[in-house]
Amino acid sequence: MAEKVSKIHYTSCYLKNYAKLPQYVQNIQDKKEQWFRANPFDIRLETHGLQGDLKGFYSYSVTRSHRVLFRFINNNEVIFYEIGTHEIYK
């Protein structure tokens, strides 16, 4: 699954919460999304698979406290479900 990501789908929840983020966090996420598109497992993103109820989902770090919750549709297509603090895992 280390292929280049050619398509990202965004849920309405992701888009709503992205819009609520401080501008500096949006700017960081925009840069990290570029890295993600080139390689979703770029070490700078700290991408990791989740366990328990969220098994099959992944997350990567935007800042120390902000994460993106996503899932692969196939090797080069993903859905961004949520962005926010660790509360997104609940």
Domains, the chain, in order of start with CATH, read 7-89 (3.30.2310.20)
Contact 56, 66 (CB under 8 A): no
pTM, whole model, 2 decimals? 0.93
Token match 């997104």: residue? 88
| Strand order, beta sheet including 58-61 | 7-10, 77-84, 67-74, 58-61, 48-49
Does the pLDDT of residue 2 top 80, yes or no? no
User: How many other CB atoms are found less than 10 A from the CB of residue 26?
Assistant: 14
pLDDT in tens, 51-86: 999 999 999 999 999 999 999 999 899 999 999 998
End-to-end CA distance of the chain: 26
pLDDT in tens, 6-59: 999 999 999 999 999 999 999 999 999 999 999 999 999 999 999 999 999 999
